[in-house]
Structures are given as structure tokens and as C-alpha cells.
Structure 1
């Protein structure tokens, strides 16, 4: 029988799907179904989800196994990591992807239910924590994290965005339990609540903060990179599945590496593919996943990320969401090492994130242009008014990429410096005599 790797169709890609049936199950015709849980709109998991699915690399790798089985991939889309964990521990999902805090809850839940899981690779990461952002309404008068005291804040408890909020509030001297009124909401619900004015701020993971800013519905209040603590998304697999079908798991990880290489080599095309599949604006996808985006993609399980994961345990314990988690036992990079080979894995493990840069995406163009400084980018934009699809600049202190027209600009002598938030811009002004916050229009005028 000629083997085929078949991608199961989803009724509607953008809606979460409920798991059905068992996973890695063999049918009467010797067909084996592999169930993959992913989050289409959590775009730092695209190399293990949305982009990987659209490229068909996993199916191709399965077809190359030549082990006598016909493989079918059942892709199931979710809004967050929690339902993926629920279905994994019920034996309904074999491979899943989610953020660092949900990964820890996955590990704890799997151990509790006697269905252990293992972290097998990484998707997107930011070594400073820039993947999470606290935003307020575009017309909000709140200007710093300290202004949140006594306010209503929406987040998803147990998520990396909630972890950022908790740590940021603690650093600001605000009790995260008593100093604010925290609402536990799904990202979409929180975004709606912010737009409706029923909450004062929203702390969320990608791509929600960037999307709301791009739409003119929000502005950044706190850049997660100010914590200077790594945050990442990763791939988790059921231990029983990994032991039963190691070649299949390795095929997935090979495919993930291929998707990663595709994204890094063709960032604009990859952003457009993800945008088409998710309904997100390509300009927002590129903010995070572009050539100089907030996220860096690599499947290697870097020690810095494992160390950060260990630090995250205390935050979840304090929130009484979990007890101790044995991170060292949870992390298992044997499969990805085998899949990629010793030399390639070592190279990826040592690779540094690409340097941040200012970048313009012209209208009608399939390529972007990078600039040596934000001022050079502004000068180019002033000369090409109306011909720019999107423009991105790195924060002068955290290096977090942000939309040029949404950034807070500071003029300091001959320099024009962008910041994600007004608070960090003001901190710079306070420390540099003569520096001043200027409008975006004024920054363009000064650059030209």
C-alpha cells in the first residue's frame, strides 16, 4: 500500500476545536493518526503550528518514514494552552505547543494524572521578556505601571502574560493580589473589555498587544522586556507517545526545524502565510516574527530558557496554581538532538538572536529595507510619504521592536530615539538634560 501523509481539514481555522477520539491511534487500515494541538493566533508557536501546517513539512517527513504505516495528522486549533494540556493528559493530543507558564502547568498536571509530558523543543523566544506587554486604551491617561494601583486589569491567569504582570507590579511596589483588581479572561475577551472601557489595562502575550496597538485601540504601558527575564514558547509531547513512536516525534521536530529555517530565510512570505491562515494583519505578524522581530525562532532548548523556566515555578506556586515542578526532568531535548544531528543542534544552541534594527516594509513590496538608526528610517519615511506599508523601530533601551508611528519619540540633540512606552521615554528624558519627548509628526519633521 502506498503510504500517504494526510493533513486533516479543520472546519474553521480561527476557532478553537475540541479534541475527539484517541491520539496516535491505529485504524483497521493501518492508518495512524497523530494529533497536534496548536494555537494559531499565538504566533510565536507558528513553526510548530500555523506555518508548519501550511507548509506541509510534517506530513512530508511522515511520508518519508517508510515504516509500513499510513499517517494522518489531525491539527487542532486552540485559543490558549490550557485546553491543550487537558486533552494531552487525557491522551487525546500527542504533541502540543504553548508558552512557558502553561508548559509548567502542563508538566505539573501530567505528573499529577500519571500522564507525564516532556518539553522537547522551543519555538519563539525573547531573552529579555519582550513577548508580553501591558497595554491601556489609546486615550487612557495612565502613563506608568504605578498608575495601575486600584485599577481593573485583564489577563489570563497562569499565562506568561500574567507572570509578567505579577513581576512588574512587584517591582513597582504594588501587591499583585491586593493592589489591583485582576480579571481572569481569555485574550479576546480581555481585548473586548479594554475597548469597552470595562477594564483599565490588559496584560497579554503575542499577538494581542501589537494587534491592538496597530488597530489604534491601545497603547503600550509596560514593555515586558523591562524585566530582562527570558520568555518563550515550546513544544511538549506525551511521554508515552514519545516512547512508543520516537521516529514520529523526531519527524515532527525535523519538520519544525525546516519551518524555522523557512521563516528565517523568508520572513515576509512567512508573515503573509501566517496572516492568511489566522486573519491577523501581516504587519502585526511581522512585528513579532520578522527579520528583526520581537521573537527569535530556534528549536534548540537553550540553557538560559531552562533557567528562566525554573524561576517561573515560584510565580505559579505563589498563585497556588501548582506545587513544585521538576524542570530538569520535564525538559528532554534528546529527540530534537537526534532529529537535527549533533553538529546542527550545537550550532543552533550557540546561535545568538539577530541584532535589532529599524525596518520599513514598502507598499506593494515583497522585501523590507533596514536602516542603521531610527532617524535614518524616519528620514526615508518623510521622503516616501504614503508609500509605506509598515515601519518598525527598536526601543532605545530594551530593543523591543514597535511600530514607528506608535512609538514614543525623544529628541536628544541630533538623535531621535524611539520607546515602546511613555514611562521609559520619560525615564530617559529625566536622565539626559536637554532631551524631550516629541510627537511622531515632529520626529518626522526633525529627521527630514
Structure 2
């Protein structure tokens, strides 16, 4: 459970979230009143390390939910010889984590790219509040971790149809950035043509279900969750934008200076969690599902083999450059005045990393008898402890058909979008039959852009396989 915080802290965190970074000085005062600094010694003689994380933002599980559940951090801290007590604080977004870090009440946190930049910018306003981005948790090189969804059966078929409509998003988040950039690319003015409601993900999801908003732009794992429940369908796949999106680990600079061995231990533990996810992606997804209440099928969509998220710690140049490219947008919406990225990004605490992302599909397709490579799909049958790979979409549909004929129940089937490569649920995809080819798309707009063949239902695709 989330540790209790005082009323001033809760009010400060909520205010920061609503304002997307405005009035940071007032927040620090509110959060600090009557409170001790997180790194101070506990009564039993142990030092306290406070970790802020977002359990349901499953792109950060290696620095949060999975890390905590498996006890990797405590094991690595024991190696330092220091007595450290870990306090975990769970939030829906990165903004309140930043507010707590500015007040010295969270030592290490994890959040998405836009919140990271806001964190670094606000931290640089004072020597006492400076922070460092020290690792990546997960990323997608094309932006597919953010998605715009609409209600099932919505008449809105493209971003252009959002003119004059209300869209929910979390202002200052990468999902907000996706919405603005995608609208502009579609020739829609995001300020004049669309009304944006600044809402937390759960509030926005409820607003979409009630019809109070026409669309919802959110980050992992909300789009997948709503689509899996049958409460939404994809309007725009963030992978179409082809702009990297990422999440990462951030630490208070003062804490890192005073406790470099603890920070290094944290990153070693994060690497342990990452290696566990690489080696046992299905088990990792089930652990995260148990801890968060999210369906394992949704967690595995993002974090599984060939998942939408890639998990690695190194601060790759392509990802740090993406952060630099994000700065102008955040300035344009008034949540960022400026940031010295060279001072903010620091890879000196990273452990030596060997190998690369191992959560990839491989082997031989048991139905089509061909090697599995790029464009592979995956079938997860109820009651099975392992999944089976599919060489291509047609092979996946054949595997589904065979399973259904033998009385087996499909728990989940995953397939990459024909155009963007974004992995999605096979039964929630839009299918096109083009001669003998059966092609999946995450959106109807994508299927229409393909321009050939006939759009068919999932059931028809399975029958045709």
C-alpha cells in the first residue's frame, strides 16, 4: 500500500499535477512544512530511501512494480553493507513524484519523457533541488506507447473528425504531445479546432465511457486496457508519428552525491529486474498484473516478447536526442522555461550492461513450420504456461483456428500492425483480405490507407485463414 503522507503533501502533489508544473516554489514550501527529508536516518538506525513510482505505468516496472515485487533492490542494498529501509510511494502520473522530489521527500523516481524534462527543469531552479536522469526504463522508437482512442462504434474515424470536439489527455504528458503533434500533422489546429480537457488517466477513461469527451489520448497501459475491455477502439496509433517515446529513472542530485553506492545499487537492481523481464517475460507480466490489478494480457501486450516497450538502461543517443526535440513543444505549452540537458542527463551511475533486449520471439512456428523473425505474432492459450510464436499474421490466424477446433480457449493473440509494426490484440485489430494475404491494422484509418483488398471482421479473418 502507498505510505500515508500529510495533507499538505497531498494538496501540493495534486496542485502540481493540475498545473503541470506551475508554482513549484509554493509546492516545495507546502510539501516541506513539518516534514523530514527523505534521506534522514530512521529511528531504528536505518537510512530511508524513498522511491516514487507509477505501478500502472508499466513501462517503468523495472524501476518500480517488478523491482519491488521481486525484492531486487533490497538484495542489492544488502551488498553495500549499509542499513537502508526502502519506502515505496505509488502515483498515477509523474507530476506528483516531481513535486515530492523538489521537497526532498522522494529520492529516486521514474516517469515518462515529458515529466522527466519538467522534473529536470524545475530541479535546476535551485542548487538544493537539482535532479539527474540516470537511466532508461522502457521505450518505443516510434512512439507507440501513446495512443488516441475513441468509444466503440464512434463515428469519428480520423483525427480530422475531432474538429469541434473535446479530447481528454494529461496536459504536459507525452500523450498530450502525441495529440498535439498528430493533430497538426493532420491539418487540425490543436488550440483552435479542439478543446482539450486536462484529466488524469482514470478520469479521462470515465469521461470517454460517459460520452463527455469524444476521444482520449493517453500513455501506456490505459489505451490497451480500455481496448481489451471493449470500452474503446484505436483512432490513432502513436507509432504513426514515428517519434521516440521513453520512460526513465531520475534521482535527486544531493542524494546521489551523498549516497552514490545506494544509487548504483538501485540501478544494479533495475538491471536485475530488466534481465528477469527479458528472460521470463510471461512470468514478469503475470507478476505485474497481480501487483497492479491490470489484466496480464494487457501487461504482456506492452512488456512481453516483441512487446510495444523495449526495456534497456543505457541512455542511448537516439533517446537523449528525442528529449532535446521535445523541449520546444513543452516550452510552447508553457510548462517548461528551459533546461540544461547536458547537466541533467548523467550515465555515470550505470552498471556495466552486457547483451541487449532479450524479450524477443524466436524459434519455429509450430503451424507453418517456418522460422520466426520480424513480423512475428504470438498466441497465448488459456491454461498454458508458455506461448507459441507465429511467423506471420496468417500463421497466427491458422493457429487460432486450430486451437478453437480442438476446444482450446484463446487467452490472447498478438499481431504487429502491417504499416507501423505496433503489436496489438489480434481480435481488436482491423483486418484486410488482399487476395491470399490477411493483414492486420490497429486502426480503420490505417486499413483504409492500405488501399487494397477488403476490410473484414476478425471472425472472417480466422475463417479465411
TM-score under structure 2 length normalisation: 0.88
CA distance in 1, matches of 2:392, 2:375: 10
Q: Deviations over 1:354-413 (max 9, x none)?
A: 755200111101111111101110011112125211001000011101100000001111
Alignment of 1:63 onto 2:85:
no
Q: Residue 24 in 1 paired to residue 42 in 2?
A: no
Distance change >3 Å, CA 276–CA 263, structure 1 → 2: same
- Cα distance between partner residues in 2 of 1:335 and 1:296: 21
CA contact (8 A) 2:306 2:359 kept: no
Residues 352 and 328 (structure 1), Cα distance of their counterparts in 2 relative to 1, 3 Å cut: farther
- Structure 1 residue 29: Cα displacement: 4.0
Which of 120, 124, 137 does residue 123 from structure 1 map onto? 137
> Is residue 97–residue 236 contact of structure 1 (8 Å, CA) maintained in 2?
yes
Query: Any stretches of 5+ residues in structure 2 without a counterpart?
Result: 14-30, 362-373
Change (3 A) 1:257 1:403: same
Cα offsets for 1:314-365 (capped at 9, x unmatched) = 11011011122222221101101xxx22xx36x559x998755200111101
Map of 2:400 onto structure 1: 381
* 1:36 counterpart SS class: strand
Asked if structure 1 preserves the Cα contact closer than 8 Å seen for 2:63 and 2:110, the reply is: yes
Q: String of CA shifts for 1:95-128, please: whole Å, max 9, x gaps.
A: 0000000000001111124411111000110000
Matched, 1:364 2:379: no
SS, match of residue 427 in structure 2: coil
Q: For 2:39 and 2:392, how far apart are their aligned partners in 1?
A: 51
SS of equivalent to 2:349? helix
Contact 2:278/2:359 (<8 A) preserved: no
Q: Give the whole-Å Cα distance in 1 for the aligned partners of 2:411 and 2:85.
A: 39
Task: Identify the residue that residue 302 of structure 1 maps to in structure 2.
Answer: 316
Matches of 2:171 and 2:2, distance apart in 1: 28
SS in 1 for 2:116: helix
Q: Which residue of 1 aligns with 2:364?
A: none
User: Any stretches of 5+ residues in structure 1 without a counterpart?
Assistant: 1-8
Match of 1:100 in 2: 113
SS of the equivalent of 2:217 reads strand
* TM alignment of 1:112-151, pairs within 5 A: 112-114=125-127, 115-151=129-165
Specify the SS of the correspondent of 1:335.
coil
Distance 2:53 2:42 in 1: 24
Cα gap change, 1:205/1:381 in structure 2, threshold over 3 Å: closer, same or farther? same
| In structure 2, distance between residues paired with 1:311 and 1:149 | 27
1:259-278 → structure 2 map (5 Å cutoff): 259-278=273-292
Q: Using the TM superposition, give the Cα deviation of residue 11 of structure 1 relative to its aligned residue in structure 2, in angstroms.
A: 6.3
Is residue 394 from structure 1 mapped to residue 393 from structure 2 by the alignment? Answer: no
Corresponding position of 1:39:
54
Q: 3-state SS of the aligned residue for 2:85?
A: strand
- Determine the structure 1 residue equivalent to 2:224: 210
How far off its partner does 1:190 sit? 0.0
Instruction: Give the CA RMSD over aligned residues.
Output: 1.8
Post-superposition offset of 1:188:
0.2
